[in-house]
Amino acid sequence: MMKCADMEALFRRNKALFALKNICALLVALACFSWAVSVLAEPDGIPQVKLNGVETPNLRNLLEGLSPALWQNKNAPASEAALRGPARRHQERLRKALQSEGYYSAAVDFTVSWSESAPEAVFNIVPGPLYHLEEINVRVWRDAAEQGQPEEILPAALETGLQSGSPARSVPLLDAEQRIVRQLTGMGYPYARAVDREAEVDHDKAAMYITYLLESGERLSFGTPRISGLEKVRLETVQREIVWTEGGWFDQELLEKTRDKLQESGLFTLVRVNPAPPDAVEDGRIPIDMEFNERRHRTISLGLQYRTDEGVGVAADWEHRNFMKLGRSLRLRSQVTELEQNFSVNYDIPEFMGSRDTLTLQAKTAQIETDFYQSRRMDIGAWLEHPFSPERSLGFGPALRASRVKETSRAQNYYLFSFPFQFSLDHRNDRMDPTRGYRFTDRLTPFMDVHDTGVWFVKNELTLAAFFPLGEESGYTLAARLHLGMAGGASLSKIPADERFYAGGGGSIRGYAYQDVGPLDKNGDPIGGRSVTDWSLELRKRLNEQFGLVVFVDGGATHESPYFDFKDTVQWGAGIGIRYFTPIGPMRFDVAVPLNRRKEIDNAVQFYISIGQAF
């Protein structure tokens, strides 16, 4: 027979598993609850739509998505006759949707089943064959009004993106037209436009023949930029951002790249970059009109946060985005919390040495005081950021830190030289509140003490966050985060305490105090580790324009070894949160509990208030 002590030990070992199962059940229950509410919210007497004859899943989903448009009134129809009119209009809506998907001989009829409590419109659909493209042609004239003249001889062939034999769906056909115009504007034709589409359908072959008719206009080169609206920004600051060459063939994409770079500079509230009207053409060159509205170049911002483990935090920022009227940014930042006080200065030099790179000169002083260590340090460094594309970048640069780190039993001065490298991929649709996409960063940093300790070590940190929308209109987003960190070279005791890995807190494993997850000393204080693994899973629900809900599970561990140690206990935390959406990003209110709470170490609950999603 199992003794009471054995039962208690078994319960403790399985406590985290039980709690995790409960959280997973809560996630499922939340989704089921939302579905049930949406179903039960349908008032009695609202017409229901039934579709017969459509077996293709994607096509059926499309047609079912149109069904709510049948009856948009709040009140139920008063009679069968009142329902037939909307049903007839919906019949035409379904037929057009079928044609847009390539079913040009589709037939749709309907019947109405009337009752005061549950009226129903039944649509019987015969999609017919899926039509395919048989022939694709493109014809371009300099002046479409003179189609009797020879067609324009283009510098390169045009690509429609369509293939003979592909389904004759309307979206690809319309996209092809825009693609052709886009190619023409990249070949030197700033006024290219689509004139018409001639589509012929052969019902016997279930085939379509399509011809695109376009007007190119005159082929022109880039002329002189005509810049207006500048007040405090120097003319050379704008000219430095122009990516086209005067005299080169016109290319609309170069205009857009220039506009985006100027908009991202933070100097302007409005940036317009367009070719001048045709009557401004001179000697085969088209001037480019550039219009600006400058924004205020100085900004002061204040921030406030509260976390149970870190207490109240205050931050203040001052930024000058047009320092010395050169389009360079000077930022001063000060942050004060119960654990850390710091002050930093950053000076950004865009287009460094005529390249696309941005050079940032940095200086920072900080004082950190935790239960295990105290650190006073000063950092100086330079960081060069090279963008391969808007989504991919590589950064690197030297840094030097002078610090004094005091642990429980000793104090040590360090003069650490480092040279970090960081590769970033960012495909999120929104940086403050992403609902789809992913972000990946890999930061590799070698450290070496250049004074007398002889310490050297290498840190590598990888972070991946991914976001998955659960249905286009549901408002649900599944968010996941994984963080891995490893340090090799020196032993744990040789690595400065403020450069070790820690876990726990609002940016790591919620439900646990700041840096409290991992190895502890005899006093119960965290000593840090040479590796860390932590992760998060969130189910986010957007309720309306102002509010959202979050249910989350976090987990992870810190290890004394430079790799994941399966012997170390994984700490789990879970909780719920509210999001209040503002123009500068969502405000976060989270409450979390430790699922496998350590006696006399972990508090029963932790609270977090800050701006932005957890990740």
What confidence tens digit (pLDDT) does each residue in 461-506 have? 999 999 999 976 788 999 999 999 999 999 999 999 999 999 999 8
Strands 207-215 and 193-202: antiparallel
386 neighbors 393 (Cβ within 8 angstroms): yes
Which of 41-45, 261-265, 498-502 has the least mean pLDDT?
A: 41-45
Owner of token pair 């965290």: 526
pLDDT band of 16, cuts 50, 70, 90: very low
Residue-wise pLDDT for 76-121, tens only, equals 677 888 889 889 999 999 999 999 999 999 999 999 987 777 788 9
Residue-wise pLDDT for 198-253, tens only, equals 999 999 999 999 999 999 999 999 999 999 999 999 998 899 889 999 999 999 99
Classify 298-611 by CATH class: mainly beta
According to CATH, the topology of domain 221-294 is Ubiquitin-like (UB roll) (3.10.20)
Q: Average pLDDT for residues 422-449, to the nearest whole number?
A: 95
Which of 143-147, 418-422, 577-581, 592-596 has the least mean pLDDT?
A: 143-147
pLDDT winner (highest mean) among 4-13, 176-185, 400-409, 469-478: 176-185
pLDDT for 14 equals: 47
Residue 336 CA to residue 313 CA, distance in Å, equals 6
The reply to whether CATH 1.10.3720.10 applies to domain 132-215 is no
pLDDT band of 8, cuts 50, 70, 90: very low
pLDDT for 454 equals: 85
Strands 340-349 and 358-369: antiparallel
313 neighbors 306 (Cβ within 8 angstroms): yes
Strands 48-52 and 120-126: parallel
Pairwise pLDDT comparison (595 vs 585), residue with the higher score: 595
The reply to whether CATH 3.10.20.310 applies to domain 48-126 is yes
Confidence check: pLDDT of 26 > 80: no
Confidence check: pLDDT of 187 > 80: yes
Task: Output the average pLDDT for the chain.
Answer: 89
pLDDT for 456 equals: 95
Strands of 268-275's sheet, edge to edge? 221-228, 285-294, 268-275
Strands 421-426 and 437-449: antiparallel
Task: Measure the CA angle with vertex 56, ends 135 and 66; round to 5°.
Answer: 95
Confidence check: pLDDT of 168 > 90: yes
Residue in 282, 256, 578 with CA at minimum distance from that of residue 390: 256
Q: Average pLDDT for residues 604-612, to the nearest whole number?
A: 91
108 neighbors 123 (Cβ within 8 angstroms): yes
pLDDT band of 420, cuts 50, 70, 90: very high
pLDDT for 41 equals: 42
**Cα distances (angstroms) measured from residue 499 to each of 194, 227, 340, 507:** 60, 50, 15, 17
Confidence check: pLDDT of 19 > 70: no
Per-domain residue ranges of the chain: 48-126, 132-215, 221-294, 298-611
Could you check whether 48-126 and 221-294 share the same CATH topology? yes
